[in-house]
Amino acid sequence: MTEPVIRKIVTYAEEVLVEGKRAVPRPTKFLAAAAVIRNPWRGESFTDNLKPAIMAHAGILGDLLVPRLMALAGGKQFVEAYGKAAVVGADGEVEHASALIHTLRFGNKLREAVGGTSYLSFTNKRAGPGCAIDIPMTHITSEGARSHFLTVSFTIPDAPAADEIVIAIGAGTAGRPHHRIGDRHEDMKEMGIRSNNTLVPAK
């Protein structure tokens, strides 16, 4: 199986300075790095075994995108939230998009770069050029931190073409500006819910 055929690499960055008509405590960056690649399963009626292409593509794509994302953040030490996304063009299956991001050979590249322990939130879908590429994010080590339930969204006007896949990763350098809704663990404590989602018996 050949290595990825990459048509372009796209990076996206926004820096939030004011939210809710109030200056943020510190500038907050929401970032993304994406590769537009040829779908390795293009033109095939159906492929039972996706693993050869996963093995040939996933690690390379992680190695390609992670350093670019870290550079946008100003260094891995500034990353507090992360996530991933894939969009397959009209001639592909959603499974094709999923295959290249739902493997530790891809996700661990980002997780290890920032010392993360949380699962990478994700989206995977089929769409055409100019679609919204939405990358949901969570805190890199605290999955219950609602302050870091974020989404970075961007578009690529000419991608994905019908025979392409967009592979993307995202990062945030802080939580939502002025976040004030608490976190999941606080709710669980207040409601008497254990970590396995069972109710604590009343005393």
Digits of tens for pLDDT over the chain (203 positions)? Answer: 688 999 999 999 999 999 999 999 888 999 999 999 999 998 778 899 999 999 999 999 999 999 999 999 999 999 999 999 999 999 999 999 999 999 999 999 999 999 999 999 999 999 999 999 999 999 999 988 998 999 999 999 999 999 999 999 999 999 999 887 877 777 777 788 776 655 444 44
Task: For domain 6-191, say whether CATH 3.30.1330.110 is its number.
Answer: yes
Give me Rg for the CA atoms of the chain.
Answer: 18
Distance CA 92, CA 130 (A): 17
In three state form, how does the secondary structure of 52-106 look? HHHHHHHHHHHHHHHHHHHHHHCCHHHCCEEEEEEEECCCCCHHHHHHHHCCHHH
Q: What are the structure tokens assigned to 77, written together?
A: 């030490």
| Residue labelled with tokens 């663990």 | 185
* Closest listed residue to residue 157, CA positions, set 44, 64, 45, 36: 36
Residues 6+ apart with CB under 8 A from 189: none
The residues that bridge with 15 in the sheet, in sequence order, are: 29
